[in-house]
A and B are shown apart, each in its own frame.
Chain A
Amino acid sequence: MPSVIEVRNLHKRYGDHVAVHDVSLSVEEGEIFGILGPNGAGKTTTVECLEGIRTPDGGDIRVLGLDPARDRAEVTRSVGVQLQDGQLPERLRVAEALELYASFYDTAADWRGLMDSLGLTAKAKTRYGKLSGGQKQRLSIALALVGNPRIAVLDELTTGLDPQARRDTWDLIEAVRARGVTIVLVTHFMEEAERLCDRLALIDAGRVVTVDTPAGLTERAGMGQRVSFRPSAPLDDRLLTALPEVAAVTRDGERITVDGDEDALNAVSALLARQGIVAQRLRVEQASLEDAFVALTRHETEGK
């Protein structure tokens, strides 16, 4: 697939503070590309350079073959943007905002349909200042999509949304992608990244740590399973630590927690069966993207 966004060695500083050291990535047409990282990692600065509202201090950016800093007009026509802190006039009504923004584009989407699919029709006449955080967020997403963009850059997509609204928004984003729109998603929300993104760039301290699929990232972090349970009869820790699959055993009252590799659960179950002990309230945790995130960003810090 051809890449629609190409970033090479992006560098951006504000005075003495370097926000982005060196970021290179490429986004392919039609994918949902996540930019994940802790607060202050340089995610927002990176996408703002893509959008053309910040000028990089170094490196090269191509969006649909164009330089966003120089060919701003052209880029704004094909890139829909949701800003993290982008706002509207307090007294502007929802329908007015959508109609206004639709008038900015030659090939605008049907703004009424968009308003409907984002559940804003009931609020059509409500002023922006009177909307809840979630409603503002949904309006902001609608405005990013109203120009029928080829690429949508969404910064902190579901921050401030309740769980139901968050899931609805995810469905909407998947529907938008199904229409062939490439989506760049800035997030620090793991569940969202795992659910939506085809590929993720993990950014930490202004550098790309790694780019991979969510599953690939989890695997790369090299993390196994965590098994915890309450034994029905006393169990000697040494029996557990003797297992090659087990790395560590901790006790919290009667509850035993075993950390091990991906076969830890099988090994522990077999041991318990041999001892005639039943594991009560058994809980197994797979390493999640979140664990991978913590592990990978920690490696990076230690590496320096």
Chain B
Amino acid sequence: MATWRLVTIELKLALREKVGPLWGVGFPLVLLVVLGNVPSLREPQEVNGGLSTFEIYVPVIVLFNLAVLALIAMPNALAGYRENGVLRRMRTTPVGPVRVLAAQLAANLAIAVAAAVLVLAVAGIAFGVRLPGSLPAFLAGWALVTAALLSIGLVLTALAPGRSQATAFGTVLYFPMMFFAGLWIPITQMPPWLRDVSHYTPLGAGMRAFQEAYEGGFPSAQPVLTLAAYTVACAAVSVRWFRWQ
């Protein structure tokens, strides 16, 4: 009862906060629609294995949404709670601050699911982009990236002294990570060494898992292990260094 109420409250607060909904959901959707209306991006490209640049961007936009929620919106909210004594206040109740953290994760997860469904649906219905060849595989890849990113978001929250630093760390980390997801140059068009680097970054590994799912296969060992390693390492660091006040 208390847990469920906490999750709904956190969800409401996240929606009122606007960072997540606006930058994590609204902006990626606008980007999708804008890109979808550029004719040259809709043409199949030899370098992309016959896919159009637009089609390659669809999973990038799903990652864009996840990264904003996990690296910026969530650390911002949690570090703010710590700074304002919200977590401290929770320590004096039977529920405790761990469940606030869990509710924050659940709320951001819910927004992320809604956004991913929305992006895939708009891409499919409005622009005729085909769905991933294997939806369960895509889901598995998505779950892995999400776990890794939320874990990284928790590390940012744990290590940042205050709310403003948490937001700053998140934003600074966000751009190189999105670069390796192929936001500016698709991964297939990167020089080989950069592509190799990309595969070992969280979002690059995520893109690889998505690509494999689009081709109908489950994520291969490399992205799975990379993402699992990020998740476990970051979870361990945040458990060790998380401060409630």
Residue of B nearest to A99 (CB): B5
Residue of A nearest to B245 (CB): A53
Mark A77-118 against chain B: 1 for CB-CB distance below 8 A, else 0. Answer: 101010101111111100010011101110000000000000
Report chain A residues within 8 Å CB of B85. 83, 85-87
Q: Contact at A86–B2, with CB atoms within 8 Å?
A: no
Q: Contact at B92–A53, with CB atoms within 8 Å?
A: yes
Interface membership of A259, Cβ < 8 A: no
Q: Contacting A91 at CB < 8 Å: which of B5, B13, B96, B245?
A: B13
Q: Given A91-B13, A92-B13, A53 and B94 touching (CB < 8 A)? A: no
Mark B75-112 against chain A: 1 for CB-CB distance below 8 A, else 0. Answer: 00000110011101101111110000000000000000
Report chain A residues within 8 Å CB of B84. 87-90
Report chain A residues within 8 Å CB of B80. 89-90
Residue of A nearest to B2 (CB): A103
Q: Contact at B86–A89, with CB atoms within 8 Å?
A: yes
Which of B2, B88, B93 counts the most A-chain CB atoms under 10 A from its CB?
Answer: B93
Mark A25-59 against chain B: 1 for CB-CB distance below 8 A, else 0. Answer: 00000000000000000000000000111000000
Bound form: Cα–Cα A52–B90 in Å: 12
Q: Contact at B92–A76, with CB atoms within 8 Å?
A: yes
Report chain B residues within 8 Å CB of A224. none
Interface membership of A147, Cβ < 8 A: yes
Interface membership of A73, Cβ < 8 A: yes
Bound form: Cα–Cα A77–B12 in Å: 27
Interface membership of B17, Cβ < 8 A: yes
Residue of A nearest to B3 (CB): A103
Interface membership of B240, Cβ < 8 A: no
Report chain A residues within 8 Å CB of B6. 100
Interface membership of B1, Cβ < 8 A: yes
Bound form: Cα–Cα A88–B81 in Å: 8
Bound form: Cα–Cα A223–B232 in Å: 67
Report chain B residues within 8 Å CB of A96. 9, 12
Bound form: Cα–Cα A143–B90 in Å: 11
A48 to chain B, nearest CB (A): 9
Residue of A nearest to B100 (CB): A89
Report chain B residues within 8 Å CB of A88. 84, 86, 89
Q: How many residues of B contact A (CB 8 A)?
A: 23
Report chain A residues within 8 Å CB of B12. 96
B163 to chain A, nearest CB (A): 11
Q: Contact at B2–A91, with CB atoms within 8 Å?
A: no
Q: Contact at A91–B92, with CB atoms within 8 Å?
A: no
Report chain A residues within 8 Å CB of B13. 89, 91-92
Q: Contact at B5–A83, with CB atoms within 8 Å?
A: no
Report chain B residues within 8 Å CB of A103. 1-2, 5
- Looking at chain B's contact residues, is the secondary structure mostly helix, strand, loop, or mixed? helix
Q: How many A-B residue pairs have CB under 8 A?
A: 65
Q: Contact at A86–B89, with CB atoms within 8 Å?
A: yes
Report chain A residues within 8 Å CB of B2. 100, 103-104
B160 to chain A, nearest CB (A): 18
Q: Contact at A91–B93, with CB atoms within 8 Å?
A: no
Q: Contacting B88 at CB < 8 Å: which of A53, A89, A90?
A: A53
Bound form: Cα–Cα A43–B176 in Å: 48
Q: Given A85-B85, A86-B85, A87-B86, A92 and B9 touching (CB < 8 A)? A: yes
Bound form: Cα–Cα A288–B171 in Å: 57
Q: Contact at B92–A81, with CB atoms within 8 Å?
A: yes
Mark B7-20 against chain A: 1 for CB-CB distance below 8 A, else 0. Answer: 00100110011000
Q: Contacting B94 at CB < 8 Å: which of A51, A76, A89?
A: A76
Q: Contact at B17–A147, with CB atoms within 8 Å?
A: no
Residue of A nearest to B91 (CB): A53
Q: Given A76-B94, A81-B92, A91-B16, A100 and B9 touching (CB < 8 A)? A: yes
Bound form: Cα–Cα A85–B94 in Å: 19
Q: Contact at A86–B94, with CB atoms within 8 Å?
A: no
Q: Contact at B94–A100, with CB atoms within 8 Å?
A: no
Report chain B residues within 8 Å CB of A76. 92-94, 96
Q: Given A73-B94, A91-B13, A105-B94, A83 and B1 touching (CB < 8 A)? A: no
A138 to chain B, nearest CB (A): 15
Q: Which residues in chain B, 1-42, are within 8 Å of chain A measured between CB atoms?
A: 1-2, 5-6, 9, 12-13, 16-17
Q: Given A92-B9, A96-B9, A100-B9, A87 and B1 touching (CB < 8 A)? A: no
Give the B-binding residues of A (Cβ under 8 A).
51-53, 73, 76-77, 79, 81, 83, 85-92, 96, 99-101, 103-105, 143, 147
> A52-B92, A103-B1 are known contacts; what are 17 more A-B pairs with Cβ within 8 Å?
A51-B92, A73-B94, A73-B96, A76-B93, A76-B94, A86-B92, A87-B85, A88-B86, A89-B13, A89-B81, A89-B84, A91-B13, A91-B16, A100-B9, A103-B5, A104-B93, A105-B94
Interchain Cβ contacts under 8 Å between A and B, 14 examples:
A53-B92, A83-B88, A86-B88, A87-B89, A88-B84, A89-B81, A90-B80, A91-B13, A92-B9, A101-B93, A105-B93, A105-B94, A147-B93, A147-B94
